Amino acid sequence: MENINRVVLIGTGAVGCSYAYSMINQGVAEELVLIDVNEAKAEGEVMDLNHGMPFAPSPINVWHGSYRDCETADLVVITAGLPQKPGETRLELVEKNAKIFKQIIQNVMNSKFNGIFLVATNPVDILTYVTWKVSGLPKERVIGSGTVLDSARLRFAIGQYLKVDTRNVHAAIIGEHGDTELPVWSHAAVGIEPLKTVLENKKEISKECLQDIFVSVRDAAYHIIERKGATFYGIGMSLVRITKAILNNENSILTVSSYLNGEYGHSDVYVGVPAIINRSGIREIIELKLTEKEKTQFDHSVNVLKETMKPVIS
């Protein structure tokens, strides 16, 4: 029984179900429990997902459960809450979702849960902080999806632009998962070549192109929401990537929302920064040497987050 990985997913909306679908198709974990305040919805999703099981790469036991199932869970993933409305910023969602979260975390902890939390609900950095506070778990075991999706969007866009496999593009977005996030151009690389060198050799690509790429990435959620009402596949796959890093003890580097305790000159805040992820959660935060401009942008992002979370944590 010791080798059985149990993941509990709370929130079976568009994001939660994209995650569950990806988990099954990638054969991650042995048990996946679905919980939602809308019980019929969770039940229906389980039925539908289970009907694809003959085609999954490995068996996975999926059921509609309750908070009691969290007791022996290795990972609880939270995608429950209200989604962003067209034109609404992620930070505007804060008070509504913080209230929902406090109740959910208490329900999970009442089960004697002692695993790792992974939070995706927006505003993700603030709700990860709320999860850490309410759960009382060590900061290393409370993780937010942070800027993992944003970094993936950036890697995809650069790959498209340079006509290079996106998996060979190494670039990160850090800061708040939202309007104040920033690209760390100073550390971006294509294959093993710094992006700066690639650009010097390709005169047709200007610095302005990079700024356009970043703006399209930063505003991607707004553009997608305008067209289809919500974003869910990209985040679903990002959450599976983090899940694999945890359950497989990968020591992978991902820009998750992590608790800063002096790193980057900030404390008592969750924000997207590169961190090494393994079976114990966040093993280590990687402190990048930022340029002055990047540091100023990062400080601004953290300050905006801190200001916004004030009413929620007091």
Ligand X SMILES: NC(=O)c1ccc[n+]([C@@H]2O[C@H](COP(=O)([O-])OP(=O)(O)OC[C@H]3O[C@@H](n4cnc5c(N)ncnc54)[C@H](O)[C@@H]3O)[C@@H](O)[C@H]2O)c1
Q: How far is the CB of 93 from ligand X (least distance, A)?
A: 6
Nearer to ligand X, 83 or 175 (CB): 83
Beta strand pairing call for 61-64 and 31-35: parallel
Among 75, 77, 100, 277, binds ligand X (CB under 6 A): 100
Q: Write the binding mask 251 to 290 for ligand X: x where contact by CB under 6 A, - elsewhere.
A: ----------------------------------------
**What are 119's strand-pairing partners?**
78, 144
CA distance 201 to 191: 15
- Whether residue 225 contacts residue 84, with contact meaning beta carbons closer than 8 Å, is answered with yes
Residue 11 makes contact with ligand X by CB under 6 A: yes
Residue 81 makes contact with ligand X by CB under 6 A: yes
CA distance 159 to 163: 5
Which of 191, 188, 158 lies closest to 174, judged by CA? Answer: 188
SS3 letters for 24-78?
A: HHHCCCCEEEEECCCHHHHHHHHHHHHCCHHHCCCCCEEEECCHHHHCCCCEEEE
**Stretch of 4-12, 63-71, 246-254, 280-288 lying at the interface with ligand X (CB under 6 A):** 4-12
Amino acid (one-letter) located at 67: Y
Q: What angle (nearest 5°) sits at the alpha carbon of residue 23, between those of residues 22 and 24?
A: 90
- Whether residue 127 contacts residue 268, with contact meaning beta carbons closer than 8 Å, is answered with no
Q: Which of residues 162-181 bind ligand X (CB under 6 A)?
A: 177
Nearer to ligand X, 180 or 190 (CB): 180
| The CA-based dihedral angle spanning residues 85, 211, 302, 304, taken in that order and rounded to the nearest 10 degrees | -50
Catalytic residue among 51, 64, 170, 177: 177
**Stretch of 81-89, 206-214, 268-276, 288-296 lying at the interface with ligand X (CB under 6 A):** 81-89
Q: How far is the CB of 125 from ligand X (least distance, A)?
A: 9
Q: How far is the CB of 155 from ligand X (least distance, A)?
A: 15
Q: Write the binding mask 188 to 207 for ligand X: x where contact by CB under 6 A, - elsewhere.
A: --------------------
Q: How far is the CB of 69 from ligand X (least distance, A)?
A: 13
- Whether residue 209 contacts residue 195, with contact meaning beta carbons closer than 8 Å, is answered with no
Residue 225 makes contact with ligand X by CB under 6 A: no
Q: Which of the 8 DSSP states describes residue 170?
A: E
**Stretch of 231-239, 246-254, 263-271, 293-301 lying at the interface with ligand X (CB under 6 A):** 231-239
**Stretch of 117-125, 259-267, 274-282, 292-300 lying at the interface with ligand X (CB under 6 A):** 117-125
Nearer to ligand X, 140 or 181 (CB): 181
Q: How far is the CB of 230 from ligand X (least distance, A)?
A: 4
How far from each other are the two terminal CA atoms of the chain, in whole angstroms?
Answer: 42
Beta strand pairing call for 257-261 and 6-10: unpaired
Whether residue 170 lies in the annotated active site: no
Residue 73 makes contact with ligand X by CB under 6 A: no
Residue 64 makes contact with ligand X by CB under 6 A: no
Residue ranges in contact with ligand X by CB under 6 A: 10-16, 36-38, 41, 79-81, 83-84, 100, 103-104, 120-122, 124, 145, 149, 177, 230-232, 235
Catalytic site positions: 177
